[in-house]
Structure 1
Amino acid sequence: MRTAAVHVAAGSMLLTALAAAPAGAGSPAALHAAELRGTAVAAARAADRGIDFGACPAGQQLPGTVRCGTVRVPLDYARPDGAQIELAVSRARATGRDPDDGERAVPRQGSLVHNPGGPGADGMYFPVSGVLPEWKRIAAAYDLVGYAPRGVGRSAPLSCTDPETFQQAPTDSPVPPPAAHKRERIERAKAYARGCAERAGASLRHYHSLNNARDLDVLRAALGENRLTFLGSSYGTYLGALYATMFPSHVRRMVFDAAVNPDPERIWYRNNLDRSAAFEDRWADFRAWAARHHAVYGLGADARGVQASYEKARARLAREPAGGKVGPEQLQAALSQTAYYDDLWPHRAHALSAYLKGDPRPLVEQARTYPEAAAEAENARAVYLAVECNDAPWPADWAVWDRDNTRLARRAPFETWAGVWTHLPCAYWKGPRQRPLDVRAGRDELPPTLVLAAERDAAAPYDGALELRRRLAGATLVTERDAGSHGIAGGPNSCVNGHLEAYLLKGRVPGRHASCAPHPEPGPGPRTRPVPGPGPR
């Protein structure tokens, strides 16, 4: 195949260049050279092999318009002839027809590959987005391609503990936590890190963002694309930024939706501190909204009153979990979702209100864990921690965590300690850590790229979008003002979607920076409309 020949030639040139680079056999430079060579070799093989798309596994419940296949990648790119793993891929072919005029043909522009974030999120369902009105024009011109990154779902899945014991009984997580609770959480984090090392063995070290970026280049080649068109959401923006830095000549168009701060000094410990601070602001947005609808929910006439209702529910759940399934920790986890999507505000406000009025059923429905989803949830958490823990050094001294988060929790108590308990296994992680790449691209190195950001996004604070635009010359930032949805591509804002379509369909960007008015806040009462868009949900 011609594409394979292109990659073989590129690999030959790369090998020639690497051969001239002096480095000791065990040096970082030599390892980097070997990984570059391994990526070129794997991409050439994938281009030659392609992807044999067929019916998707029945368990995934994808429509017949979506076809599935696999791509083989090296577990270790320094050893491209060694152990291989397979990544699951899904695709819906471009419809080729204008959704407003079915008689008019639309030229195909190739594949649009999406990573929904996490790390640990499964992107196999992205091709289904093409049936939504917000995506039909893009789906007319592009094959919509999703995939499960390494470790996720059917792609050499990782596991760190028995899924049957992963979802624990209702728990209380006092804020601020007493010393005994901290000691118990430290032991739990150590056990989890130990379980990851024991279950995954020597392969665990190969699950990290640099390999995810290399996998993306192999997927590009397998799809027969000389250059990649990519949409990354949340963590997917960091993956895309790494790709743009590592393979700038392979970039066609890139959309970064809900951008993570790529500064190497913030990967990942400091980024998570920033998130906890931003969650407090978004939690305040939800409380202010609930207070404006006090007549409907009765949670409080001001934000302070809504906070008091939340604390009242926590105290009651600590004494007696709702339905025997939901304790204070489950309540906090459910309400933390209000920081991601304001579409959830009516649901969560209703559940909290009903519980305080004596009906626990809506809260149990929204906050409980489901045994049938235990394996998927455990796998997602395992990949999330494996990638973040492997990506960079983390403080190994509990005193550092305790000092930083105690200080932060004084002004941001809602999410801070929950974030600590999520990430603490990284303090006790086994195996070597990567050194974060200095994400950067000069004006002549990349075509124009598009960064989308909501100004009050808590999970990806707005400073990250500004930093990414600064590091990628030629990047355009589109801001949804005074809004906080985590992922705005294909959402309810027609201004944002207009910029997205103009870029993906015509390569047009609105200068250095553009802004859009916020989408309308949800009203009170039941909400049944699904949230559109492919974001990290």
Structure 2
Amino acid sequence: MRALALYGAATTLGSLVLTALTAAPAGGAAAPAASAFPSFQGAPEAHGTELAAGRALAAGVKFGKCPASEELPAPIQCGTVKVPLDYAAPHGRQIELTVSRLKASGKDPKTKKPVARQGALLYNPGGPGASSMYFPLVSGMPEWKKIASAYDLVGYSPRGVARSAPLSCMDPKDFTAAPTQSPIHPSDSYKKERIARAKTYAQGCARKAGAALRHYHSLNNVRDLDVLRAALGERKLNFMGASYGTYFGAVYATLFPSHVRRMVFDSAVNPDPGQIWYRNNLDQSAAFESRWEDFRTWVAKHHKTYGLGDTAEAVQHSYAKVRAELSHKPAGGKVGPGQLQGAYLQAGYYDDVWAMRATALSQYLKGNPKPLIEQAAPRPEAAKDEENGNAVYTAVECNDAPWPTDFETWDRDNSRLAERAPFETWDNAWMNLPCAYWSAPRQQPVDVRAARGALPPTLILAAERDAATPYKGAQELQKRLPGAALVTEKDAGTHGIGGGANACVNRHMEAYLLTGKTPVRRAACAPHQEPNPVSLDRHALPKRIPAAV
């Protein structure tokens, strides 16, 4: 799946595990019995996961003041959890994952009456390559107050991300070089240029990460999650994943079903092993075309405000005119067609930004490029984080599964798709092309599924017109996890809808997290209100938690 921020796991072993597993975890909850850990048919990684979880349970997390770099105010606290780089060698190199936590308030936000603590709720926003260290901040949002009264809100940076053994594949200054081109129908010479860049990028990842590169993948993210659960002293996991977070959450549910208490899948990736990841990216590109039309149709509806055309086709013409002008004269010397594409791709993810993006186009065509530059130009101060996120994204997706290794396959599939879905197809292909030339060994995708009765009820949230994770992914996930309930926001396409603008969705999410109650099988919610065409505050943050695929 495409990341949104772009440039264009001895003799003494047994006694240690036994001691750790029988120690009383924080909060006085009973620890899982050793037999509760799945054997995975004796695989070394399973044994390493069991050992690492036992050690983490014994050590706990020493929470304290958050580093200034996290920009997290008190009473949010931060700590670290050690996990093996390689779970097949659990006594070898250890890496530290950064963790943030805000303890449950213990009081109903309205009545102020005591509320029983239900454990820690871990959140992952997806990517791969995104951090959720900010997650405890949602406690101040009305949509999350009741949940924050009962749960410790826990965020973390997965392996490779930010301060958690960070990955890098190239110099950040080069990663955000601007302006760049972004041809919708690339020439043969441009394709050769991008092949060369993909090979160079893949080589950079291998050179900078060395032998460690092979250990950054979804299976290890799942193992890390179980170690985090143990470190927090939680017998059972409460987890909410968005976008890519739903995928490794589903893999967790497959490998550790007895460890699951509550699990929310928000904007679900299609977990079919045959889809991971090449075909999912093709499906994503096709879906973005429909979502791009949704944006243009909305802009056309507000032609009197923006003057960009009174039909979706006319708005497309205005956008194409801007692309053409930027290819000859980048705005402010910073925004070329590549930067334009990156900014307007965000409109395919979140309708929160529609008014801002429409205004930027309108103003540019009236001779004022400032709004477009503000919204689309690379930010040097973010270059390091963006390069890191892209490196983790690439490593995880390339390591997770086999990819076509001949460009002819990519060329054939994307050329065909671009004929009917030109908006995002080739940019998505370039994003993932390093996987064709990847040197690290590939994993085989897990066959996500659970036996009937093996899992407690789980909850899937999905917007019907989501482009980043097309709706059929939510349907496929529900088929594979018996007892899962699916809540659909009809005729809407925002990516990541839990805790957002739809009160109906939020009621289902809150009821599930607080009581375990789900719809019998499926529930439908009417779409949230369309954006206000004159809401132009570029600093306004979405009310939902943004997903990161």
- TM-score interval (norm. to shorter): over 0.9
* Distance in 1 (alpha carbons) for counterparts of 2:98 and 2:225: 12
For 2:211, the equivalent position in structure 1 comes to 202
Residue 327 of structure 2 corresponds to residue 318 of structure 1: yes
For 1:107, the equivalent position in structure 2 comes to 116
**8 Å CA contact retained: 1:99, 1:140:** yes
* Distance in 2 (alpha carbons) for counterparts of 1:228 and 1:220: 6
Q: How does 1:2-21 map to 2 (within 5 A)?
A: 4-5=21-22, 10-11=33-34
Deviation, 1:12, is 6.9
* Distance in 1 (alpha carbons) for counterparts of 2:36 and 2:497: 40
Identity of aligned residues (%): 63
Deviation, 1:534, is 2.2
* Distance in 1 (alpha carbons) for counterparts of 2:19 and 2:296: 58
For 1:130, the equivalent position in structure 2 comes to 139
For 1:90, the equivalent position in structure 2 comes to 100
Deviation, 1:9, is 7.9
For 1:535, the equivalent position in structure 2 comes to 546
Q: Deviations over 1:143-173 (max 9, x none)?
A: 0000000000000000000112111120112
SS at match of 1:372: helix
- Does the C-alpha gap of structure 1 residues 13 and 140 become closer, same or farther in structure 2, counting only changes over 3 Å? closer
Question: Which runs of no fewer than 5 residues in structure 2 stay unpaired?
Answer: 1-17, 24-29
Residue 449 of structure 1 aligns to which amino acid in structure 2?
T
Deviation, 1:525, is 1.4
Residue 536 of structure 1 aligns to which amino acid in structure 2?
A
- Does the C-alpha gap of structure 1 residues 176 and 9 become closer, same or farther in structure 2, counting only changes over 3 Å? closer
Deviation, 1:230, is 0.3
Q: How does 1:393-472 map to 2 (within 5 A)?
A: 393-472=402-481
- Does the C-alpha gap of structure 1 residues 342 and 13 become closer, same or farther in structure 2, counting only changes over 3 Å? closer
For 1:27, the equivalent position in structure 2 comes to none
Residue 319 of structure 2 corresponds to residue 306 of structure 1: no
* Distance in 2 (alpha carbons) for counterparts of 1:240 and 1:413: 32
Q: How does 1:458-497 map to 2 (within 5 A)?
A: 458-497=467-506
Residue 232 of structure 1 aligns to which amino acid in structure 2?
G
Question: Paired residues, what number?
Answer: 523
Q: Deviations over 1:71-90 (max 9, x none)?
A: 00000000110100000000
Q: How does 1:132-151 map to 2 (within 5 A)?
A: 132-151=141-160
2:279 alignment partner, one of 250, 270, 287 = 270
* Distance in 2 (alpha carbons) for counterparts of 1:530 and 1:199: 35
SS at match of 1:389: helix
* Distance in 2 (alpha carbons) for counterparts of 1:501 and 1:124: 21
**8 Å CA contact retained: 1:207, 1:387:** yes
SS at match of 1:265: helix
Deviation, 1:413, is 0.1
Q: Deviations over 1:270-289 (max 9, x none)?
A: 00000000000000000000
Deviation, 1:533, is 2.5
For 2:71, the equivalent position in structure 1 comes to 61
For 1:45, the equivalent position in structure 2 comes to 55
* Distance in 2 (alpha carbons) for counterparts of 1:337 and 1:261: 21
Question: Which runs of no fewer than 5 residues in structure 1 stay unpaired?
Answer: 22-29
* Distance in 2 (alpha carbons) for counterparts of 1:81 and 1:14: 19
**8 Å CA contact retained: 1:297, 1:353:** yes
For 2:508, the equivalent position in structure 1 comes to 499
Q: Deviations over 1:318-371 (max 9, x none)?
A: 010000000011101100100111010000000011011100000000001011
SS at match of 2:326: helix
* Distance in 2 (alpha carbons) for counterparts of 1:236 and 1:432: 23
Residue 131 of structure 2 aligns to which amino acid in structure 1?
D
Deviation, 1:13, is 8.0
**8 Å CA contact retained: 1:11, 1:37:** no
* Distance in 2 (alpha carbons) for counterparts of 1:117 and 1:247: 20
TM-score by length of 1: 0.95
Residue 83 of structure 1 aligns to which amino acid in structure 2?
R
Residue 545 of structure 2 aligns to which amino acid in structure 1?
P
For 1:525, the equivalent position in structure 2 comes to 534
Residue 211 of structure 1 aligns to which amino acid in structure 2?
N
Deviation, 1:505, is 0.2
For 1:175, the equivalent position in structure 2 comes to 184
* Distance in 2 (alpha carbons) for counterparts of 1:516 and 1:238: 23
For 1:25, the equivalent position in structure 2 comes to none
**8 Å CA contact retained: 2:129, 2:392:** yes
The runs of at least 4 consecutive aligned structure 1 residues that moved more than 6 Å come to 6-9, 12-15
SS at match of 1:97: coil
Residue 231 of structure 2 corresponds to residue 214 of structure 1: no
**8 Å CA contact retained: 2:31, 2:235:** no
SS at match of 1:287: helix
* Distance in 2 (alpha carbons) for counterparts of 1:57 and 1:422: 32
1:283 alignment partner, one of 269, 281, 292 = 292
Residue 45 of structure 2 corresponds to residue 35 of structure 1: yes
SS at match of 1:145: strand
Residue 301 of structure 2 corresponds to residue 292 of structure 1: yes
SS at match of 2:224: helix
Residue 35 of structure 1 aligns to which amino acid in structure 2?
E
**8 Å CA contact retained: 1:8, 1:40:** no
**8 Å CA contact retained: 2:61, 2:81:** yes
SS at match of 1:101: coil
Residue 81 of structure 2 aligns to which amino acid in structure 1?
V
By relative contact order (CA 8 Å, sep 6+), the higher-ranking structure is 2
* Distance in 2 (alpha carbons) for counterparts of 1:524 and 1:12: 58
Deviation, 1:382, is 0.1
Which deviates more from structure 2 when the two are superposed, residues 186-195 or residues 522-531?
522-531
**8 Å CA contact retained: 1:282, 1:484:** yes
TM-score by length of 2: 0.93
**8 Å CA contact retained: 2:32, 2:235:** no
**8 Å CA contact retained: 1:3, 1:224:** no
- Does the C-alpha gap of structure 1 residues 292 and 12 become closer, same or farther in structure 2, counting only changes over 3 Å? closer
* Distance in 2 (alpha carbons) for counterparts of 1:34 and 1:13: 17
Q: Deviations over 1:362-394 (max 9, x none)?
A: 000000101111100000000000000000000
Kindly report the root-mean-square deviation, in angstroms, between the aligned alpha carbons of the 2 structures.
1.5
Q: Deviations over 1:111-168 (max 9, x none)?
A: 0000010000011000100110110000000000000000000000000001121111
**8 Å CA contact retained: 1:170, 1:324:** yes
